[in-house]
Chains A and B, each alone.
Chain A
Amino acid sequence: MVRLEKRLQPSAVFAWATPVMAVIATMIFGGLLFAALGKDPLVAIRTIFWDPLFGQYAFFYRPQLLVKGGPLILIAIGLSLGFRAGIWNIGAEGQYIMGAICGAGAGLAFYPLEAWYIFPIMVLAGALGGWVWAMIPGVLKVKFGTNEILVSLMLVYVAEQFLASVSLGLLKNPQGFGFPGSRNLQQYPSAHNAEIFEGTGMHWGVAAALIAVIFAYVLLSRHQLGYHIRLTGEAPRAAKFAGVSPSRLILFCLGISGAFAGLAGMFEASGPAGQITIDFNTGYGFTAIIVAFLGRLHPVGILLAGLLMALTYIGGEIAQSSLGLPSAAIQMFQGMLLFFLLAVDVLTGYRIRFGQREAA
């Protein structure tokens, strides 16, 4: 018989091996799924994982990986800090929306003025918008002991209503013939988050994501605050004895994840999306939770996980169009990835034993 035996120490080998195992398992079972749908599984897997990177049109898809992965990484880095300390911000999607509204709103307030300082103000406004939105569950938790999971999640729906309201009212393009949606910031040079090097997909949001990775890495490995975060997550009682203030930690973690999500929203609204519309948010805030766990809450892991997630999106679209796979199959494929990750994760903390337990 097979049984699980708890490891004394989480296995360092498996901590790094399990994501790879999850990806391989996803490929195998995803391949079976595609085969069941009547497609050649090898072609499907190649289309999803190989073509965007090395296929005929890779020159277009590689920059797109950064465009799609940038916001995921930026949000996931912020979330991972809180997750490590057991502080669960599930409402990054709402903070992303509020950051986009505040950032784009700040830019549009100057329209049509052209000045160098507009974009930096938008960046600040975006971060502030996300930070404020995350402070609501933060302050409520510290003052009244509410559950930050519920409050942050519910605030996503409030943010969506705000988004609809400003798209139809405050930020509506006066030259838009009554249609919802703001002016397109891509046509407003001072507010446009353009590519830093054209054709690379590298816009300021991607740069911010890379900086966030380095920031989080240094914070966690070199700084006392990072030590407190890790300690609180791994041994809450010990953290208390070490003089960690839970309230300050909660406000810091929620605040930074909100600010990062807000920044991601602002860079998206002023760059690739270009405008605030009713359907502006496309789920980055929720997908980033998957990315954070896929990356094992480690900054470098998140960087890789964000790019991998972006790859499955882009490859999935190619597979839909060129192979005729339904989008539901692609979503199942992405779901499998998280499922297998959580499933094989057990190997990090436990080892599998075959045979009868010896009498002890």
Chain B
Amino acid sequence: MNLTKRALLTGAAMAMSLAAAGTAFAQEKTKVGFVYVGPVGDGGWTYEHDKGRQAVEKHFGDQVETVFVESVPEGPDSERVMTQMALDGAKLIFTTSFGYMDPTINVAKKFPDVKFEHATGYKTAENVGTYSARFYEGRAVQGTIAGHMTKSNVIGYIGSYPIPEVIRGINSAYIHAKKVNPDVQFKIVWAFTWFDPAKEADAAKVLIEQGADVILQHTDSTAPLAAAQAAGNVIGFGQASDMAEYAPSPRVSSIIDNWAPYYIKQTQAVIDGTWKSEMTWDGIGAGMVGIGEITDAVPAEVKAEAMALKDKIASGEYHPFTGPLKKQDGSDWLAEGEVADDGTLAGLNFYVEGIEGEIPQ
């Protein structure tokens, strides 16, 4: 059995060196692959990753060739797409969904010379690094605006899946909304999808019917903003992408994923041969998380306060999870002035005190 495996790998290696030789004669192009979970036109998550890819093409010009495959299901299909890119001579492959984690590790084992970058996961290897953004920093700014803007004191939140990333966002938004408006209340609906305009619209409508006049979303489509627009007097925020087509209202601001600087940096590292496996987790300071323009629908003093908070987070002066904070059950989490460590945040699985409802299990 080992023999056949080795035969397969030797075959792969031979084919790869042949392919490499072929391209070396033509031109010294570095091929960079991107595996997307959604369509590039989703207007959110995948759209922003593809903008990062385009930025790489623009930055490097003839030096780099990028390839991508969109709407790749997680699991064995993604494993095949990654293998195919590696066989085809890609030197660096970005796999841009959490569910690509084990497939990325599997494929990376077979291609030790190819570098892999997996978004939002926790498994690394010699040739696999991970990267993610501290979206919760943006949520703090969002929560501040939401807390000021709500008149009904009910803020609706559309969660995708109850995973640490989403729970961090809910907690961060709640903490900062509560800070500026002690009467604020969060209503949370779980959509169990990242992208499903119909479901997201339904969730938004339910929340609006329950009195929410601010809708926060952790799903990727513009459907919740459309629902807010239809309802009138309801505001929301762009998610993952700016969603500026709904400005100045209902979209009053947005959290923008900005992958371009990171993609350019890592591509450069592969070209220079200096790439190392790292776990990158960057936020507003490094430019990975952007805050979209706060529109005039927001009063000037609220806007100023939100921008001040953004600057304090960017400079590292303030951390959105700073004590005193208690867990939902009333037990202590962070003491006065204490800051949550990355390990706890990475696996965050509880609400802070004051949020009603249970995290689905």
Contact = CB atoms under 8 A, between A and B. Distances in A.
Contacts of A59: 8, 11-12, 15
A317 B73 contact: no
A127 B18 CA distance: 45
Contacts of B40: 326
B39 A272 contact: no
Interface stretch (A33-41, A78-86, A161-169, A351-359): A161-169
Given A177-B346, A197-B4, A273-B76, A321 B99 contact: no
A282 B103 CA distance: 15
B261 interface: no
B303 to A, nearest CB: 35
A86 to B, nearest CB: 32
A61 B11 CA distance: 13
B15 A56 contact: yes
Given A168-B361, A321-B33, 16 more contacts: A56-B15, A59-B11, A59-B15, A68-B77, A165-B360, A168-B162, A168-B360, A199-B5, A279-B73, A317-B80, A321-B67, A321-B84, A321-B85, A321-B88, A326-B40, A327-B70
A344 interface: no
A178 interface: yes
Interface in A49-71: 56-57, 59-61, 64, 67-68
Contacts of B81: 317, 321
B84 A318 contact: yes
A308 interface: no
B347 interface: yes
A274 interface: yes
Contacts of A278: 161, 192
A179 interface: yes
B300 interface: no
B163 A180 contact: yes
Closest 10 pairs (CB-CB, A-B): A272-B76, A282-B73, A169-B361, A273-B75, A177-B347, A178-B349, A199-B8, A178-B347, A320-B69, A327-B71
Interface string B55-84: 000000000000111111111110111011
A60 B71 CA distance: 22
Interface in A165-206: 165, 168-169, 177-181, 184, 186, 197-199
Nearest to A275: B102
A59 B12 CA distance: 8
B87 A57 contact: yes
Interface string A197-225: 11100000000000000000000000000
A137 B175 CA distance: 48
A59 B84 CA distance: 11
Contacts of A60: 8, 12, 83-84, 87
Contacts of A322: 67, 88
Interface string A268-288: 100011110111101100000
A73 interface: no
6 contacts: A57-B84, A180-B161, A277-B74, A321-B68, A326-B40, A327-B71
A168 B192 CA distance: 11
Contact of A317 (B69, B163, B164): B69
A198 B11 contact: no
A177 B15 contact: no
